[in-house]
Amino acid sequence: MDGVAHAGVSEQATDARRRGRLARRPLAPALAVGAGVAALYALWSWRQWQRFETPSWDLGIFTQLFRAYGELRAPVVPIKGPGFMLLGDHWHPLLAVLTPAWWVHPSGLTLLVVQALLVGASAAVVTGCAARHLGRWPGVGVGVAYGLSWGLQSAVASQFHEVALALPFLAASLAALVRRDHRAAALWSLPLLGIKEDLGLTVTMIGVVIAIRGSRRLGALLAAGGVAAFVVTTRLLLPALNPDGVWDYAEDSIVSQVLSDPGAAIDGLLTGAPQKLLLVLLVVAVTGFLALGSPLVLVTLPTFAWRLTSDVPFHWSTDWHYSAVLMPVVFLAMVDTLLRSPAWKARAPLMAGAAVVVALALVPQFPLWRLVDGDYWRPGVRPAGASAALAAVPDGATVVSDITLMAYLAPRTEVYWMGNENPVPDYVVLYQGAGIYGGEPPESAEGWAEARFPGEDFTQVLAVDGFLVARHTP
């Protein structure tokens, strides 16, 4: 009897070790792909930062946000306007969890590196899920294709946005759906409610998929909670915190015209139809259209809905950060499709390889291609003038600026955007090559400042390589 018992214990131990090896199998490829993706995007962002390339004012805005959080202040962001509470613009209170990174190194570059790490973390989750279900090398292929996907490239190139924090949580929720762990899928989706207001509807669709897959009560509760969160944030929280008492983006959608002017709403929906169709096709094409074989693809619908009904052309394009949250959805939907039948699963290596080929084929059309351009490794035309302009502005000064140097000035000065009604600043900093002046750029910062602030005197103190700095002379 003792021998039989010992044999039983030995078999149980062997089974436990086998299960442990199977559980650990995805870990190495997941970490490798995640680290590689993070390093690649951190490198790209570092070059962008070093060359003083500034695609928008957003990095300056989020730099001011994290400076406020780092100093344990309310997230008031002067770039958006004097006294502007940023939580009245978009609902992203969970960004506060990233504040320790700011304490380590208070710089806009820190936010770019953090964004790269978050993208890498999501790539690790996608790779781990694919490797667990499809095998090591198909998993690596899916993870690499995801990491190189054009939606992530465009997001990183547009610099830091709150959606970067959504990527790991969304990937973890969808990975749980792939393995049919509905409770985990629901729990991983909940942080999305504190990252951006429209993600409440994404959570709703995760609930719908959970219900479709059999956990009806849990799915219904999650779907209802997502809708409730969206309504509360857009109807109550955002208007309460917004200086104008509104949700600023409510009028961007043609949905606001459906009852008042149905004809205009239809015209708006059809406007930009070729670009909108291209957007949809590119999102699913990165998976060889395999994402369409899984109910997980339904999670893309809320993002598509608000973008395709928007009257803002940026929202239909393949640029900016708007497509980032679609990428983990379609790639994990692809994994789910391949699991739906043994025949499809047997083709997983081929399908993963094809996804990598598609991703690589698209790279020359998107930002990462610049890494193979020798010019991208040269300083460019901005650094000398930009460094001189930054050196001309002392710490603690108030500054009115265009977008070019906002993120560089924000950690140590009070920066205002030149397009708003601002208090009289200590300094004005302009870049003639910013491309935002709608005509001839200003010939001097002194002349621009005195025209903008009548009755005030300014003296130009620097003009180097198109960078102009003027000091207020009371």
Dump pLDDT digits (tens) for 322-342: 999 999 999 999 999 999 888
If you count them, how many residues does the chain have? 474
**Rounded to whole angstroms, how far apart are CA atoms 324 and 321?**
6
Structure tokens at 109: 């570059």
pLDDT in tens, 40-74: 999 999 999 999 999 999 999 999 999 999 999 99
Structure tokens at 338: 């391949």
Weakly modelled stretches of the chain, pLDDT under 70: 1-24, 251-270, 438
CB atoms near residue 436 (< 10 Å): 14
Q: What is the pLDDT of residue 23?
A: 43
Nearest to 34 by CA among 130, 136, 138, 140: 140
Counting beta carbons within 10 angstroms of the beta carbon of residue 376, is it exposed (0 to 12), middle (13 to 18) or buried (19 or more)?
Answer: middle
Q: What is the pLDDT of residue 436?
A: 77
- pTM equals 0.91
